Amino acid sequence: MKKEMHKKLNKKGFELVWSTIVIIILALVLLIAIIFFFTRTSGSFIDNIKSYFSYSNVDIAVQGCNVLSSSWNDYSFCCEKKTIKYYESGEKKQGEFSCGELSNQSFVNNQINFIDCKEKC
């Protein structure tokens, strides 16, 4: 009777060890996959994170305006104003611009796709 009980306990212990090893291996594979993902996409990922901690939001606004222009959202591109924080001559400035107005600003450097905004608003 004792031997049977001892064998059952050993089986349960053996199964517990194997399930723990499998879980550890799966966790390591997942960790490697996450590290690989973030190192491969680190350029855009890090740029997006930095944009939340810097004063200027010009790059985010330019990306948003280019999305609006490529999807031909004329009204949103030409009429909706966004608060833009930027530097001009080393000073922090802030203004309300639509994408059409923003495309004419010197601090944007012609990075916004063009949509003719005459008589849209």
81 and 32 in a common domain: no
In a domain, 77, yes or no: yes
What's the rounded Cα separation, in Å, for the pair 51 and 58? 9
In a domain, 119, yes or no: no
| Tokens of residue 6, six digits | 């001892």
In a domain, 121, yes or no: no
Q: What is the pTM of this model?
A: 0.52
pLDDT in tens, 29-74: 999 988 877 777 656 666 666 666 677 788 888 888 888 888 888 8
34 and 70 in a common domain: no
pLDDT in tens, 74-108: 888 888 998 988 888 888 889 999 888 888 888 88
Domain count, the chain: 2
Q: Quickly state the pLDDT bin for 13 (edges 50, 70, 90).
A: low
SS (H, E, C) 65-120: HHHHHHCCCHHHHHHCCEEEEEEECCEEEEEEECHHHHCCCHHHCCCCCCCCCCCC
In a domain, 34, yes or no: yes
Structural domain boundaries enclosing 24 = 2-40
| Tokens of residue 56, six digits | 């200027």
Which CA distances in Å does 96 have to 17, 82, 86, 110? Answer: 63, 5, 11, 18
57 and 19 in a common domain: no
Count the neighbouring beta carbons within 10 Å of the beta carbon of residue 97: 20
